[in-house]
Structures are given as structure tokens and as C-alpha cells.
Amino acid sequence: MTLTELIKEFKHDNLELSIDEDKVLIIQSKSDKFQYSTKSLSEGLILNVLSFISKVALENKFKIVSIVDEEIYLLNKKYDMQFVVYLSETEPSIDEYDKISKIIDILDSLSRANSNLYINGIHQSQQIVVGNDDWKCNVNFDYEDLHTFIHDINAFFNFKYNENRCLYGDDYIEYVIDFPELKSLFGYMKLPEVYCSEVYKDRIYYEITKISLPLFNLIMKEQEYGDEEEYQHHENFSLKVFNINSILGIPYTDSKFTEIALKITKNFLFKLSMKYNINLNIVEKNIYEINAEDIVSTLYEKLEMVKESDLYYNHEYDADLVQYYYQASLMEDSPFKYLAYYQVVECIYDEVLMANTIGDIQQLINSAWFNTNDKSDIQKIIDKIKWQNNSKKDEDKLKLVMDKYFKNNASDDIFLEANKEIIELCKKMKIIKDDFEFKDLQKILKVIYRYRCDCTHSNRNYPISKIADGNSIQDYIKLIRLIAERIILNYR
């Protein structure tokens, strides 16, 4: 059939075909108010155009905005999304249409499943903005590549998400990471990615690459001050582990999966550190879910409370004790931070023991039976002090320090009044039942020393991650910090 015959026989409710005097083919729509003109009278191209237009009209998902040369511009009014489809004389354009139609189907499914969701296209960009009344920030998705778009949407809405630490689905888990060396640097550093030359299915492997868009979006939607167009400029890395589920035969929905995945990942981190001296941290605390507005507000109030008298240098605390305290304050919450604060107490063990020994010697020398000219009396004192000091354990030294620089010879009323915050914490931790129990230092001594031993010694049967009494590591760190502060204040 010739093109002329095709035009004569063409019948369509909404389209009209004609050839003008310059032999320019004109396709005109009655309803959508567009007109397509081309000097190319290629039957293949015309058939592709007509087939495409018919498909658009049949599904009614898009409005044809215009057709310019071999480009058809489409608009989805529901989501305000624009698409461009490139036509060819030989290749049918229906495949391209099916791709963008699938995108709309996906968004329709999301809208039906999430009534609070709103979706809009970004003008002159192959991106959509997705928002929800429950989110603090909108997020973006790029639909330039259909396969990537489907994966990102599926990961964002359907993968398991663990408290801003990791994102995981079948044969995939991704951790938020940081580099300790970069914490002191201002701004970001662009670093090379580490990845395999091909995709493997027969082994467990990992990559260190830019944080994925789904994980980035899951983090950003909880940000008070987020920017939904920031991902392309974001340089943070994540660690991605592949194929754990299929290789080990454990589904990602299994309650033990994240524990197993973390063990495997820590093996990777060990090898990185051992072989290349590259140290990575898996972000274990929820740095992004904290309410930034609350933090700023709280800090604002604290700064406003600073008195002018506290701006003056009027007392010098012990330099060593302050240095131990400062080092501890810089650390992340962990058993090692507890030990770092404990060093404030431990630092003066021998010093306090010596002072106590000197006091004991003075008492013996001043006793009625002691004769300075009798060598046996002197030997008695030496033997007694040697035995006493050798029998002193760390718990005994801790008690000496606490008696001297924590209780500090204060009366019971003053002691309880000065330590209100510590008392409330001890009651919360169930170390004591009431304020008066706090006067018995032995109870608090046992607790802080026992936890110090737990942090110092390792045992497979008693992992430090499991605190026997149910208190959090933050409670223990706060307790030893408050005690360290009192000792620094009272130390002379």
C-alpha cells in the first residue's frame, strides 16, 4: 500500500491525515489540539507515529503536548510528569511507550497503597517528588532508567529498614558507614569507590560506593532541614553486601538475618583494616533520626543559662584528671567510653592509698606501745603496712578514692543534696531504692566496679553487648561521668 492509499483509507475518530501542496504530511488531532507536520513521507515513520498516537489515545494516560520532527512530547496530568519519546522509521516506538506507561502504573499502585502519599513531577527533569504528611521532608526519584526506577521505588517502600543504620532485601544489605579519619575535616572529601568488575551470583561480596538513593531518601525523609534535591551532590558512602540469602539459604525476613549479616560485614571490615589499614565504622547510632530542631532548641537554652561568673578563670582543676575526662567526652558511647571516664577514678588509686598508708603509719608511731629505739617495733610497723597494702585490691582502692573525694567528709544531708542527679540515676537503674540507701557507698561501688570488669575482660559466654541488669550502656556512662565530675571538683 502506498502512502497516498494509506492516507485515503485512514479512519480515526480523533485524527485526520492530509498532504499539502508542498507534499508535507499533516497529522491533526481534533481533541488534543496538536498538529504534526513532516517532509519525510517514509511509510515506516508514519506508521510508527500513527500507532503511537493510537496507543496513547486508547490508554488515556497521557496527553500529547506536541510532535516535533521525530520527538513526541507527552504529559501525564495526574502527576504533572513530562516525557519525550523518540520515533524511528524502523524501530517501533511502542516499547518506549510501554516503559513510561509502566512508570505511571507503579505510581498509581503506590498512591492506592498509601493514601497520604503525594507525587509530582519536577519541571524539565526526569524526576518525581514524593511526599507524605508524616514525613519531615520530601524525597526524589529519578525515572530516566526504568529498571533503576523500579528497583529504587521497591527498595524504598518494600525493603526492611533498620533504624537508619541499614536497608536490606533479598540478597542485599546496605550499611551507613563513616571514616574516622574524616571526622576532624571540614566539608567532604571525594573518594574513589570500591566495587567488583562484574555482578556475581555464586559468592558473597561487598562494595563501598555512594549511598543508594533509597537509603538516602529513607534517611532524608526524617530530616527537619532536608533538601529533596540534594542526592546528586551527596558524597557519603555506604557498604553494600550481596548474595547472603541465596548462598547461606537464610531469608532476609529471618529474625537472625541482620545478626548474621553484621558478622559477615565485620569480617570484611577486619580484612580491610588488617590488609590495607582502612578503618570503617558502621554507623550504629541513630544520627539522622534525632530531631534537629529539639537539639538546637535544647542547646540554645543551655547556652543562654551560662552565667558570667562561669566565664572567669578562677580555679585550676587537676590537669591529669581533666585530660582523662576530656578524652572520654570525645568518644562515642561504648564500653571504652565507660573505661575512659573510670580512668579519672583509677588515676589516683595509688596516690590515695599512699596517703592512707601515711596516715596509718602516723597512727602507729603515735601509739603508746611504739618505741623509736626498738627495731622490733619498727619492723612490726613495716610488716603491718606491707601486709595491709599487699592485701588491698582494686575494690579497696576504689573505696578509698570514693570516701575521700566523692563523699569528701560531707555530712549526710549535704552529701545527699550535692548528689541529687546521681541519686535519681541510681534509683532509675535500681541500684538503690531511696535516697538514704545512697549513703551506703558500698552499693554503688560494687556496681561501677563490676561494670568496669565487664568492660575490661572478655568472655564468649558473657558478651559485653548484653548487660545483665537491663540498664543501658548510656546509663552506666552517665553514672561514671557524674562520679568523675564530683571527684575532679573535690580533688585538692
First and final CA of the chain: distance in angstroms? 107
Tell me which H or E stretch contains 120: strand 117-121
Condensed to tens digits (0 to 9), the pLDDT of residues 275-293 reads 888 888 887 655 444 555 6
Residue 408 has pLDDT above 90, yes or no: no
Q: Which pLDDT value is given to residue 131? A: 92
DSSP-assigned states of every residue in 424-457:
HHHHHTTS-SSGGGGG-HHHHHHHHHHHHHHHHS
When computed from its CA atoms, the radius of gyration of the chain, rounded to whole angstroms, is 36
Average pLDDT over residues 148-177: 92
Residue 421 — pLDDT band, cuts 50, 70, 90?
very high
In three-state secondary structure terms, 72 is strand
Residue 470 has pLDDT above 80, yes or no: no
Contacts of 370 (CB under 8 A, 6+ apart): 364, 377, 381
Residue 229 — pLDDT band, cuts 50, 70, 90?
very low
The closest of 173, 171, 212 to 193, measured between CA atoms, is 212
Domain ranges of the chain: 3-90, 127-282, 315-490
Average pLDDT over residues 200-214: 93
Average pLDDT over residues 129-138: 90
Contacts of 9 (CB under 8 A, 6+ apart): 1
Residue 173 — pLDDT band, cuts 50, 70, 90?
very high
Condensed to tens digits (0 to 9), the pLDDT of residues 23-54 reads 666 777 666 656 566 666 566 777 777 777 77
Average pLDDT over residues 245-255: 96
Calpha distance 332→182 (Å, rounded): 15
Q: Which pLDDT value is given to residue 32? A: 62
- Higher per-residue confidence, 254 vs 133: 254
pTM of the model: 0.66
Largest CA distance in the chain: 138
- Higher per-residue confidence, 167 vs 40: 167
Residue 457 has pLDDT above 90, yes or no: no
Average the pLDDT over each of 119-123, 183-187, 304-308 and give the range with the smallest value.
Answer: 183-187
Output helix, strand, coil percentages for the chain, rounded to the nearest 5: 50, 15, 35
Q: Which pLDDT value is given to residue 225? A: 55
Query: How many residues comprise the chain?
Result: 492
Q: Which pLDDT value is given to residue 369? A: 81
C-beta neighbour count of 139 within 10 angstroms: 24
Question: What residues does 173 pair with on adjacent strands?
Answer: 168, 241
Q: Which pLDDT value is given to residue 391? A: 65
Question: What residues does 121 pair with on adjacent strands?
Answer: 128
